[in-house]
Amino acid sequence: MAEKPKEFKCLAVVKVRGTIRAQREAKETLDMLHISQTNHAVLVVNNPAMLGMLKRVQSYVTWGEISKEILADLLTKKGRTSGDKKLTDEYLKKVGCTSINDLAGGIVSCKVEFLKLPDIQPVFRLHPPTKGYKGTPKKNFRAGGEAGYRGEAINDLVKRMI
């Protein structure tokens, strides 16, 4: 019997904590993820290699599965091309999409890999969350903090940060 291939989803990764006293491996992993500053976000594919990287830096970032609606809002308001210009209809036609919602649907279902799109900045520069973090960034999300895996609750955090 052949195993059915696992369907991948898109993960939103947000840096919630500074790395002043972080280990070298954690700093290198954050560089590989293209996250340099607090309150910056990236989109990655949910595969074993990325999950291993996220587990290495789980005390500095939070991540979860992003929804299509929140991703479309994020691309509209915070998505940038090279030269720090907003995403336009001309760019979407160049990529082969008809609208922002079409691009967001392709990214969420992992048919389009966000990091491989031409002339696009891989990082979303977000504001600190409205009304602040609910817990401390030093603790895990399950323990009442902000760091680590949070599943669908990432949509609420990203919405407050846009």
> Where does residue 104 fall: left (phi above 0), alpha (psi -120 to 50 degrees), or beta otherwise?
alpha
Please give the pLDDT value at position 1: 43
Q: Amino acid letter at 45?
A: V
Give the per-residue pLDDT at 116: 87
Domain assignments of the chain as residue spans, ordered by start: 10-67+124-161, 68-116
Q: Which residues, given as ranges, of the chain have pLDDT below 50?
A: 1-5
Q: What was the pLDDT predicted at 160?
A: 95
Query: For 10-67+124-161, which CATH class?
Result: alpha beta
Query: What is the number of other CB atoms lying within 10 angstroms of the CB of residue 18?
Result: 11
In this prediction, residue 7 carries a pLDDT of: 66
Q: What would the DSSP string read from start to end of 108-160?
A: HTTSS-GGGSTTB-S-EE-PPPTT--SS-TTSBGGGTSSBEE-GGGHHHHHHH
Residue 17: phi and psi, rounded to 5, are -145, 145
pLDDT value for 110: 85
